[in-house]
Amino acid sequence: MPALWAASFRHLLRHPAQLALALVGLSLGVATIIAVDIATASSRRAFELSMDAVNGAATHQIVGGPQGIDERLYAELRTHDLVPGELQPDLAPVVEGYVTVGDREMQLIGVDPLASAELGVPGGLQGDEGQNERVAALGKWFTERGAVVMAAGVAKQLGVARGKHFDIDVGGVQYPAVLISEIRDDGAAYDTLLLTDIAQAQEWLGRVGKLSRIDVRVPAGSVGEAMVARLRQRLPVDVQLHDARGRTRESLDMTRAFTTNLKAMSLLALLVSTLLIYGAISFAVVQRRRVIGILRALGATRSEVLAIVLTEAAALGVVGAAIGLGLGLLIGHELITLVSRTINDLYFVVAVRETTLPVSSVVKALLGGFFTALAAALLPALEVAGSAPQLGLRRSVLEERAVHIARRLIIVSAVLAASAGIVVLVSGRSLFAGFAALFLLLLSVAAVTPAVLRGLARAAANFAGRASPIARLAFGDIAASLSRTGVAVAALGMAVAAMIGVSIMVESFRESLREWLGNTIQADAYVTAPGPGAGRPERRIEPGVMARVLATAGIGDHSESRQVIVESPNGPVPLTALQLPRTGQSALQFVAGDAAHAWPDFKEGAVIIAEPLAWRLQLRVGDKLPLSTASGVQTFRVAAIYREYGNDRGNVLMSLAQYRRLWHDDEITAMGIYLAPGAQPAAVIAQMRAAVRGGQALLFASNADIRALSMSIFERTFVITRVLNWLAAGVAAVGLISSLLAWELERSHELAIVRSIGLTPFGAAALIEAQTGFMGLVALVAAIPAGLLTAIVLTDVINRRAFGWQIDLHLTATQFTDALSLALVAALAAGLYPAWRTATASIAGDIREE
Amino acid sequence: MVKSAWLAVMLTGAAWAAGPLPEEGVFGNAARGGGFAQVLEPRAFEFPRDHGPHPEYRQEWWYVTGNLDSSGGERFGFELTFFRFALAPEEVVHPAQPVAAGVESSWRTGQIYMAHFAITDAAHKQFRFMQKLSRGAVGLAGVRNPPLHVWIDDWSLGTIDPEGTHWTLRAAERGYELVLDAQVLQPPVLNGEQGFSRKSNDPGSASYYYSIPRVAVRGRVVRDGKPLEVQGLAWVDREWGSGSLSSAEQGWDWFALQLQDGTALMFYSLRNHDGSRDPNSAGTWISAAGLSRRLASDEVQIDVLDYWKNPRGDRYPAHWRVRVPTEGIDVDVRPVLANQELLTSARYWEGAVDVTGASAGQKTAGRGYVELVGYAAQ
């Protein structure tokens, strides 16, 4: 029926602002999803690329603990037959660590190019122009001290030219290096890599005699399997053979909780935009009840009306998703910087240059946008198609129906809230279920909002109406137009609730962290070997330097720690080996186990583990934790569980003496300095600095510095959360503006009558602003309890399940005032244009239109 | 043979994948004079000491080729060769005063080793080769003496007895493993002027070069997991120096022929770019009693009777008439298989050959190995 389609099309064109706003809402939702996918996929891809560049065609890796692998094992494997009658597997040794060049953190990879060539890793000289240069570079690679190779682009950024000497910093020690060749590879794979000979890497990283790993390539099939089995038998107990892909995956898995959180935030944005679309389509339908009623009376069938409304929604969905895709690319590009910075802080060195957008993400976002629009339109479409032809002409019927629905929604809301509670209770450890509960909770807020709005608006009309009939009109109108106002306020309420929840969560986290830092950072000053990456063995304080530091006057006592990552049957586990003075023991807050028993046990060989690790491995006090030591896997009794926010993988604490005995590693990563009575931290730090001048560049920090640093890393981590949160709030605000605009414009006739009986232009404007302001307040009223509940779900369910740590709830006024500002600003802004229009419109014209 | 510059190319070519070959002498003049001992005059040889390494020279190799028969009557040829190449003199790689403080890595070395292993399986009409490259450090590759032990990974060559008369070798590649015991039948023969072998008129373009022309071998070839008992006759070549070919020279043809009458002939023909033979080309004739005589270039005539083209169109000589009138030698030399080309980082042809004809005027036959370098577009 062309008339029907023409009517539909015409209507959309006549309301471009409404159309645009609905599109903005949907595209923002889709864009957020795309942006988060881009940021996480790009970081992931960058990491995989650099792993591939280093691993080449390796099928397996032989890895050791923090002590590394004895290089003699490698020679032994190469010179002795593995499977008689079969060729040897390809083997290549790697010594790697993190270093700093200028202000750039890089991964130093020491390889033996002759062995790496077998595994398809060219060692970095493949890009040279001619064979002569390659040969010359090979000679330098082996014989020139400090010879390194890096990507041409990186060299340019660092201002390093071929043949030029520059310094690299390894854990605070400067070494001279010289660029002998450049990798002419446009890809991002080499962006963080600094390649050098294995001998040079051993010397720089203090790993002489040791290998970080041995890359292995075995042929596919039964021969390869036989080799792997024989290889396992041949390996000493302190090293393990891993599947190479699994190894990359394990590293990436470390970031999983972090990326899951990001994705949940993006889903939240889409959820908010679902309500937006619902609002926009509802209005579009409501505004056309008259036309649709006429068309129905003229013979248009229900299914035709249904089809046309759904088609509109689908078109809206497709266009919105397409715009969202483009917008998502833009936002995603910005988000990459934030995400990769967080990953560098917390996990591993990665430089993201190329934007990766998985096809699956595009499909997901487009389908998501499309079906979101369809789902949102389904209810209004069914409603308008279901109404009888002549009734379609009357608005009062619709409003009656809206009141009924609002009442029914109270029950729905209760059911949703109860479901949220049940999901939390029965889902155990599932993070996904945690998010599901969160969404149920927010939907429950949305469902109850129209009823709350009606009730409050009626009460306000009664109360204020005694003073002024205009006020009665203003508030009464809100209650009477529930079909429009209810949806808008519900959307805003949900967004505000989410915002309150997230800001309470962040604030609670921040306060818990601050408190924890206050307890944990007990030494007066800390001395650390600097460098990127946590638990890197090359971060070590040189023994001579340590003695010089400790000879400084004013030091009363000190602690020593070695921070490494050890292998375990459960994957890599961060371990801190500690030697604490007695006063330092109170630094740990136990959440399970008691200090009176735990510390003596600790001395006897038990471990104290962090809450996140206990959560991840489901360990309790008294359980056994297996770790791969230099003499094979050994189990350690868990003496206590302590509170820890520093590491979401969870840390294991062990006595330094035991660690040294079991891992043959005598290095120290950091020292805590306890001052003698009367000594001034600043003065002692200055003296310690002076004591090591000219040697290793150690990090000296007072406990206040450490706290400030930790807090700033925390803030950086949550920048993304906050950006997304504001984005979701932005979507809601736009939605509110869109809804109210449509509503207010539709009432222009009514307002013209009120003006004609004496309301001044200013009065009319004030009336509209009062209405929208009131709605903003109602959204806030609904959002505050919901926001609190959201915060509880976020801290106690989501954070616990994602990271394993417990956060104490901290409430502050700003969390609520921010929400108040958002709700009011959005609501008042939404009223501005209608207020101005009403104040300046020609009364006669508006009345005549009727 | 003199493989210095060529060796450098092979090393780097292997390390950095195939690419165009550089001009000769890439390591260049710096390396030629740069701190390595030079081969300028004859020296006194002493065995078994000289079976071992001479690290003061830039390059050196241990070269074994041989012909084998299985107990089932199958014919095999083999080549197992180890090269040592110094990228820089030891005092440059390991200065007396370490550049940076701290412990030095045992991976630090300028010594690079390369090995080639090839099997010619006449019955299966199959030729297979493999290359290994390694640094001479942390036990991955190296040379010890006495007793001699040269190895890369699980390939090795060496002597069991300190005197150096009983040798063993072992290597494996896809489908073939070779394990041999070897008994030296004749003492080492010094080639050139008492072992001083000139390659061109350039000073330093020479090497110290000796051969063990008759070595009885016995052992097994394991083909696709099935062991075959084999025995036969091998030839050992040893050479070291620091120089390279002259720029006029393009490559060489090397013949090592073992005749049934107990005599043996070694000759290398150095080819110039213009196709002429360099007058420094030379050889050695060895009597059945092990007495040797130096052969000058003009004493040996070689006529190419046929050619073989590899799939890329490079043309190699493939059938020769070799005449040494002063020794009454006139033999026909034919490859056992046409394709015995090693497509290693540098491409060359090295293969088992059959010999028929006359020696000292008497009808004879024999076997041997021929090496052809500088024919393939690299």
Instruction: Give me the total of CB pairs closer than 8 Å, taking one residue from chain A and one from chain B.
Output: 132
Report the pLDDT value the prediction gives residue B26, as an integer from 0 to 100: 34
| Cβ-defined contact of A85 to B92 (cutoff 8 Å) | no
Q: Does residue B20 register a pLDDT over 50?
A: no
Which residues does chain A have within 8 Å of residue B154's beta carbon, measured at their own beta carbons?
Answer: 78-81, 88
| Cβ-defined contact of B26 to A206 (cutoff 8 Å) | no
| Cβ-defined contact of B21 to A75 (cutoff 8 Å) | no
Average pLDDT, chain A: 79
Report the pLDDT value the prediction gives residue A734, as an integer from 0 to 100: 66
Report the pLDDT value the prediction gives residue A507, as an integer from 0 to 100: 83
Checking B342-345 for CB contacts under 8 A at 24+ apart, the result is B342/B116, B342/B118, B342/B129, B342/B131, B343/B129, B344/B10, B344/B14, B344/B116, B344/B129, B344/B131, B345/B9, B345/B10, B345/B11, B345/B12, B345/B13, B345/B14, B345/B18, B345/B131
Q: Does residue A687 register a pLDDT over 60?
A: yes
Please tell me the distance from the alpha carbon of residue B356 to that of residue B248, in angstroms, as a whole number: 34
B15, B151, B154: residue with CB nearest A114 = B15
| Cβ-defined contact of A131 to B104 (cutoff 8 Å) | no
Candidates A203, A212, A223, A696: best to mutate against B (most CBs of B within 10 A) is A203
Least Cα separation, residue B9 to chain A (angstroms): 8
| Cβ-defined contact of B99 to A145 (cutoff 8 Å) | yes
Q: Does residue A532 register a pLDDT over 80?
A: no
| Cβ-defined contact of B26 to A136 (cutoff 8 Å) | yes
Report the pLDDT value the prediction gives residue B184, as an integer from 0 to 100: 95
Q: Closest residue of A to B109, CA-based?
A: A142
Which residues does chain B have within 8 Å of residue A87's beta carbon, measured at their own beta carbons?
Answer: 172-174
| DSSP secondary structure, B329-358, as one string | EEEEEEESSS--EEESSSEEEEEEEEEEEE
Helix H, strand E, coil C: the string for A502-562 is: HHHHHHHHHHHHHHHHHHHCCCCEEEECCCCCCCCCCCCCCHHHHHHHHCCCCEEEEEEEE
Residue-wise pLDDT for A586-596, tens only, equals 778 888 888 88
Report the pLDDT value the prediction gives residue A530, as an integer from 0 to 100: 74
Report the pLDDT value the prediction gives residue B16, as an integer from 0 to 100: 33
Highest average pLDDT, of A503-517, A636-650, B238-252, comes from: B238-252
Q: Does residue B330 register a pLDDT over 90?
A: yes
Q: What's the pTM?
A: 0.71
Residue-wise pLDDT for B220-262, tens only, equals 999 998 999 999 999 999 999 998 888 888 899 999 999 999 9
Question: Region A557-584: what's the mean pLDDT?
Answer: 87
Q: Closest residue of A to B7, CA-based?
A: A135
ipTM associated with this complex: 0.89
Which residues does chain B have within 8 Å of residue A208's beta carbon, measured at their own beta carbons?
Answer: 102-106
Where does the pLDDT of residue A26 fall: very low under 50, low under 70, confident under 90, or very high at 90 and above? confident
| Cβ-defined contact of A131 to B15 (cutoff 8 Å) | no
Residue-wise pLDDT for A130-140, tens only, equals 556 666 778 88
B16, B222, B225: residue with CB nearest A125 = B16
Where does the pLDDT of residue A365 fall: very low under 50, low under 70, confident under 90, or very high at 90 and above? confident
Question: Region B263-269: what's the mean pLDDT?
Answer: 96
Instruction: Look up residue B160 and give its two tokens.
Output: 């069991």
Least Cα separation, residue A74 to chain B (angstroms): 8
Report the pLDDT value the prediction gives residue B232, as an integer from 0 to 100: 97
Structure-model confidence comparison of residues B130 and A14, the more confident one = B130
**Cβ atoms of A349 and A533 closer than 8 Å:** yes
Residue-wise pLDDT for A331-353, tens only, equals 887 777 777 666 665 556 666 66
Q: Closest residue of B to A201, CA-based?
A: B105
Q: Closest residue of A to B107, CA-based?
A: A199
**Cβ atoms of A90 and A525 closer than 8 Å:** no
Q: Closest residue of A to B153, CA-based?
A: A79
Report the pLDDT value the prediction gives residue A40, as an integer from 0 to 100: 76
Where does the pLDDT of residue A265 fall: very low under 50, low under 70, confident under 90, or very high at 90 and above? low
* Cβ density class A108-142: b for 16+ within 10 Å, e for less: bbbbbbbbbbbbebbbbbbbbeebbbbbbbbbbbb
